[in-house]
């Protein structure tokens, strides 16, 4: 029998603030982190984003030379991962053999753009190495392993918007196959011109704030941040007296093999991922108490996602609350899956149902869905699902359960 | 440009070019630039070569020259005064 996997620590950096306490307060208060885009000048159709506030503390426990050169997403990752390890009570000895999985999409692209811009404007004659060492997506794992002294198995995955949901799944797999007893999964991404201009060119951005599941929804709002999750062999956690925040019940992953940006019209991959997650957890639709949706706010995604939920959960869907955290955090791309796993853990652990804050007039096509509106609700949940669907048809659904106490 | 002006310029370049959280005037004159004081590493060394070459129009073609030039702020000032054109 493979070991059971539990979650014993979480960390978060988002537009709602630099730690889990700020995220929790923001979820309960129904705050929206989406505001004016200030990180760089941009002339296009849109000018909003869910930016991480500058006040978020910089790195901890890295050499000063490394700290000076951290890209924004590497700094977010370090802050979130440090928090998750601290909350899980992972000392040096427990971190040493831990596995590390990171999901990200653009690495230090923002800093790289700055270098290129200065060079192009003639402000610098040559490219500056220090502003480019953080360019690859793999640097977050490198920084984390150095700063936190993690020597176990390590991988960085990039499957667009499901990257860090997949990182969480891979961390659970590492524990189940016995490669590690503790695994850290981190998702991180920072806003950059490339991402912003790309989504704008796709006409995928809402010019104001995204409104998932709303009749008037026009697109997504980009966000940034990092989420971190400590997964652990349940026996190991019990033996050391760790506080379990949620149980990892299973996950499913499947691919659309359909289009570079559009979801499969019938949600074939999303459907298969959701079914596989339920099967992996031995769960019937009757067991599901909450769905933290992918819920981007694009017309296509939300329509396909509701169809998938209806197909899999059937008549049960009417009694299952559904919400889209992207209405508060923006779409954090490579960080979204880990951040939404953190939100789902909080839903189970704190008994909260976070709202879809911008929802005013639900899409009639969602009439049979119990969409959670502001100010959210309180509920004792047993099982919650969180889905992440990446461009290119990379679909992941994770099933989590409330910790037994 | 006299010696004091070059020295002030070098310290300014170190502080702002490498984004150090120190006031330029507090950087010591005679300690090794890559010693304990400033917490610099090998990537800073590659970076500093570019900064010094571009700012002072000198050439630091290899590690041997670099070691000599970066022995201290004073050594770097000597190197710049000796090597720069005109």
Q: Calculate how close chain B gets to A111, using CA atoms only, in Å.
A: 14
Which residue from A284, A287, A305, A267 is spatially nearest to A387, judged by alpha carbons?
A305
Mutate which of A62, A69, A133 to disrupt the B interface (most B C-beta within 10 Å)? A69
Mean pLDDT estimate for chain B: 93
Query: Residue B70 in contact with residue B48, Cβ under 8 Å?
Result: yes
The answer on A297 and A234 residing in a single domain is: no
User: Are A231 and A263 found together in one domain?
Assistant: no
Evaluate whether residue A89 is within a structural domain. Answer: yes
Residue matched to tokens 């404007």: A121
The reply to whether ipTM tops 0.90 is no
Q: Are residues A320 and A199 in the same domain?
A: no
Whether residue A129 lies within 8 A of chain B, CB to CB, comes out as yes
At residue A62, the pLDDT reads 82
Are residues A229 and A310 both part of a single domain? Answer: no
Q: 0.90 cut: is pTM over it?
A: yes
Residue A256 and residue A223 share a domain:
no
* A235 and A259, same domain (yes or no): no
Question: Which of B41, B44, B54 is nearest residue A126 as measured by Cβ atoms?
Answer: B54
b/e sequence A197-214, b meaning 16+ C-beta within 10 Å: ebbbeeebbbeebbbbbb
Say if residue A164 is in the same domain as residue A38: yes
Which one of A183, A214, A239 terminates a domain?
A: A239
A96 exposed, middle or buried (CB, 10 Å; 0-12, 13-18, 19+)? middle
- Phi then psi for residue B43, to 5 deg, are -70, -35
pLDDT at residue A59, as a whole number: 55
Structural domain span for residue A168: 5-239
Residue of A32, A192, A210, A331 with catalytic role = A331
Burial class (CB in 10 A: 0-12, 13-18, 19+), A122: exposed
Q: Where are the beta strands (DSSP E) in A81-163?
A: 99-103, 154-157
Q: Which secondary-structure segment (H or E) carries B47?
A: helix B42-56
A272 and A204 within one domain:
no
Q: Which two tokens stand for residue A189?
A: 């991404």
CB atoms near residue B83 (< 10 Å): 14
For residue A264, indicate whether it is catalytic. Answer: no
* Other residues' Cβ atoms within 10 Å of the Cβ of residue B75: 17
Rounded to the nearest angstrom, the minimum Cα separation between B20 and chain A is 8
Domain regions of chain B by residue span:
3-83
Residues of B in contact with A124 (CB under 8 A): 54
User: A181 near A233, Cβ under 8 Å?
Assistant: yes
> How many domains, in total, are found in chain A?
2
User: Residue A32, Cα to own-chain centre: how many angstroms?
Assistant: 16
Residue B33: name the closest of B13, B57, B61, B5 by CA: B13
Residues in chain B with CB shorter than 8 Å from the CB of A126 are: 50, 54
Number of neighbours of residue B42 by Cβ within 10 angstroms: 9
A215 contact B CB<8A: no
Considering only the beta carbons, identify the residue of A64, A66, A129 that sits closest to B46: A129
Please give the DSSP secondary-structure letter assigned to residue B70: T
Residue B9, pLDDT > 90, answer yes
To the query of whether residue A294 is one of the catalytic residues in this protein, the response is yes
Q: Is residue A244 domain-resident?
A: no
The DSSP call for residue B26 is G
Of A218, A239, A260, the one marking the end of a domain is A239
Q: Are residues A223 and A353 in the same domain?
A: no
Domain boundary among A210, A239, A268: A239
- Block means of pLDDT (10 residues each) for chain A, length 405 residues? 96 97 97 97 93 77 84 96 97 97 97 92 85 92 96 97 98 98 98 97 96 97 98 98 98 95 93 98 98 97 97 97 98 98 98 97 95 96 98 96 91
Q: Is A236 considered catalytic here?
A: no
pLDDT for A67 equals: 86
Specify the CATH number of the domain B3-83.
1.10.1200.10
- Provide the pLDDT for residue B21: 87
The residue behind tokens 């192009």 is A120
Q: Which residue has the tokens 């570019």?
A: B50
- CA-nearest residue of chain A to B20? A68
Beta bridge mates, A223:
A50
Smallest Cα distance from B16 to chain A, Å: 12
Task: Kindly identify which residue of chain B lies nearest to residue A134, measuring between CA atoms.
Answer: B43
Pairing mode of beta strands A225-233, A246-255: unpaired
Is the domain of A60 the same as that of A193?
A: yes
Kindly report the CATH number assigned to the domain that includes residue A145. 3.40.47.10
Does the CB of B55 have a partner CB in chain A at under 8 Å? no
DSSP A366: G
C-alpha span between A295 and A186 (Å, rounded)? 21
Is residue A341 included in any domain, yes or no?
yes
| Residues in a beta bridge with A186 | A102, A228
| Catalytic residue from among A32, A46, A85, A161 | A161
């Amino acid at each position: 029998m493979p070991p059971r996997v539990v979650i014993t620590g979480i960390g978060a950096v988002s537009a709602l603030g630099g730690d889990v306490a700020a995220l929790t307060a923001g979820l309960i208060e129904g705050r929206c982190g989406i505001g004016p885009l200030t990180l760089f000048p941009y002339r296009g159709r849109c000018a909003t984003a869910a930016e991480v506030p500058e006040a978020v503390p910089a790195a901890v426990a890295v050499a000063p030379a490394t700290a000076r050169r951290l890209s924004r997403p590497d700094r977010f990752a370090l802050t979130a991962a440090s928090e998750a390890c601290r909350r899980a009570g992972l000392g040096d000895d427990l971190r040493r053999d831990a596995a590390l999985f990171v999901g990200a999409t653009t690495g230090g692209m923002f800093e790289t753009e700055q270098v290129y811009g200065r060079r192009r404007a003639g402000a610098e004659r040559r490219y500056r190495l220090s502003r480019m060492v953080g360019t690859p997506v793999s640097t977050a794992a490198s920084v984390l392993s150095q700063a936190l002294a993690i020597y176990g198995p390590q991988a960085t995955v990039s499957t667009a918007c499901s990257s860090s949901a997949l990182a969480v799944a891979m961390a659970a797999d590492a524990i189940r196959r016995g490669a590690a007893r503790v695994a850290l999964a981190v998702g991180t991404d920072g806003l950059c011109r490339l991402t912003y201009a790309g989504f704008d060119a796709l006409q995928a951005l809402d010019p104001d704030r995204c409104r998932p599941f709303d009749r008037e929804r026009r697109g997504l709002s980009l966000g940034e941040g990092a989420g971190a999750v400590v997964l652990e062999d349940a026996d190991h956690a019990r033996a050391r007296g760790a506080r379990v925040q949620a149980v990892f019940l299973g996950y499913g992953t499947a691919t659309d093999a359909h289009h570079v940006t559009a979801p499969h019209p019938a949600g074939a991959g999303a459907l298969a991922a959701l079914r596989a997650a339920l099967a992996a957890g031995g769960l019937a639709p009757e067991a599901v108490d909450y769905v933290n949706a992918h819920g981007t706010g694009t017309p296509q995604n939300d329509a396909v996602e509701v169809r998938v939920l209806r197909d899999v959960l059937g008549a049960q869907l009417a009694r299952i609350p559904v919400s889209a955290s992207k209405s508060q955090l923006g779409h954090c791309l490579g960080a979204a899956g880990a951040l939404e796993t953190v939100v789902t853990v909080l839903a189970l652990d704190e008994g909260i149902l976070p709202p879809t804050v911008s929802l005013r007039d639900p899409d009639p096509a969602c009439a049979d869905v119990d969409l959670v509106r502001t100010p959210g609700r309180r509920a004792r949940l047993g099982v919650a699902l969180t889905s992440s669907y990446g461009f290119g048809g990379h679909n992941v659904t994770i099933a989590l359960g409330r910790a037994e106490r | 440009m006299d010696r004091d002006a070059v020295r002030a310029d070098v310290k300014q370049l170190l502080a702002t070019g490498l984004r150090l959280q120190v006031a330029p005037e507090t950087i010591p004159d005679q300690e090794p630039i890559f010693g304990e004081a400033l917490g610099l590493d090998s990537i800073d060394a590659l970076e500093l070569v570019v900064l010094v070459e571009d700012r002072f129009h000198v050439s630091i073609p290899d590690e041997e020259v670099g070691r000599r030039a970066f022995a201290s702020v004073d050594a770097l000032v000597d190197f710049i005064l000796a090597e720069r054109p005109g």
